[in-house]
Structure 1
Amino acid sequence: MSEISPAALRGAVDLSSLRNRPSGAAGAAPVSAGGPVTDVVVDATDENFGQVLELSRTVPVVVDLWAEWCGPCKQLSPIIEKVTRELGGRVLLAKVDVDANPQLAQSFRAQSIPMVVALIAGQPVPMFTGAVPEQQVRDVFAQLLQVAAQNGVTGTLPMGDAESGDAAAPAEPELPPLHAEAYAAIERGDYRAAITAYEKALAENPRDEEAIAGLGQVRLLDRVQGLDLQQARAAAADAPLDVQAQFNVADLDLAGGHVDDAFGRLLDLFSQLPSDERAPVRERLVELFGLIGAGDPRVVAARNRLSSLLF
């Protein structure tokens, strides 16, 4: 699973020039005129992107950067559209043709496509680059909703009929009761209650992939809550073999999008510990691997190194 971190793209994406662009610019198709939107999938352009940014204060916005000539884009885009529509207005998908909208492509630094980035309250967060399988898309969307809730973005888009203009709220897919309980707990910042709800869901169905993904994410959020990065780094530097001190920094690194740093720290720790003290580090690595996803090249490289240290 790809990581979702509001800090990961900070400084890497500059959308300031698009925030105040007039929505009535020539050729700009309005996303929303302050009322209901007619679809949860919209075409975003250099001219109307300011409206997209505003909508990201109500719901998380997924930005799909694509091009007509891009084969992987044609594989990924229908999956993203499908998952977005299933969420019934809790997410908006903004599709950006990079050839037709060079300013957006430059702002997002789209060096390769498909590239998918989210916006939460106007702030960009990473999702994934390249075509990924549907289950990974679902996992990352679940993470996105959790992070959006953590940042107070929990709205639902008011929908209107494209022809009549009458508002019609879409029916949201009903969450299983324990999942709904977990989401409610996350929204109020009670991560321990969310953990309990997901654990109950897994006791009922150990193969519940959404519960597995949600549990891993909320455990990480719970662990980093209240941690100070500078203090954690100082403690880890003072005690290089203190497992908990290294765990704290690795968790903060992962939450901040520094995946390789987190894995490298724990693998270095694993290599230095006596054999009978390694188990907790291995278990934490496996847990973090699950958050990022088995197919991620960073996970593959870290697993290979872990295997070489084990055998």
Structure 2
Amino acid sequence: MRTAQLTKYNKNQITLNLTDVPKPEVGANDVLVKVTAAGVNPLDNMISRGEVKLITPYKLPLIAGNEVVGVIESVGNRVRQFKTGDRIFARLPLNRIGAFAEYVAVDSAAIAHVPSYLTDTEAAAVPLTALTITQALELMGAESGKTLFISGGTGGVGAMAIPIAKAKGLIVITNGDVSNKERVLGLGVDRFIDYKTEDYTKTLSHVDYVLDTLGGSETEKQMGILKKGGQLVSLRGMPNGAFAKRMNLSKWKQILFGLVGRKFDKLADKYGVTYNFIFVESNGRQLQEIADLFTELQIKPSIDTVYSFEQINEALNKVAHGRSRGKTVINFEGGK
């Protein structure tokens, strides 16, 4: 089967090698999936650059790709909830990625049925981002009726976060370029802030929760708009000790990340809030809940560019350097 493999970590090079390998073997709890589409994410490039080695060290060569859509071709003898022919999607388990291939063997606990109204290309935009949002809201302990600020919520993350947060009863505020205002309001956001004409740090206060998609100096600014006891979950900040413990990393990694994330923990103490970093994990149960929510609300993910499998490196470069208004997707032969 055709695959796109990472053969060497290189902080300056994200190119994958197209290589033929045998089909993967299927374990008792696995399903073998014929891949029809795969989402392309910043995480894929972070892995190639070696930026997540401390969180999840991979043995090279590695078939890359974290987010998959496809049709089940065979099932392991312990699998009961899925059958041959089912159309499924998944954020692949951290220790068994490999979406950039014609076939992938996946633990059935990581997969969910694709909503019937979504094409394979649209479905490829859902699992990783939607699970990130769901797990972030769980980590916050987000409660209905409270306020959530999503920084820079006009991109692909916001397009998922806003409807999911609204479905959970949250009051949602975001900021971004005014050219995206009507589209974001259409997703259900309660208040839109034009970042060119309004400084959110001066007009927002006593916010319950923040989803930080920007990182850098913006993280501290967002801490400043939270009420005392508020919760900030960052997708772009630094891992800290709490993150390492939550991920069940080794003791020495817990100590290391405790040191690395100390700056953010100290800032959180200064503002009387809680800081957490999130690295999304596979979870078929959560993904099925998301799929059911999407079906109920008929949410359509935003797609930016669709590439063929042979264009995988163009897609990775697009994610690394292009300005996107939605998801970049690899469409395999046979995908919709």
TM-score scaled by length of structure 2: 0.28
Flag the structure with higher strand content.
2
TM (norm. structure 1) is: 0.29
Greater helix percent: which structure?
1
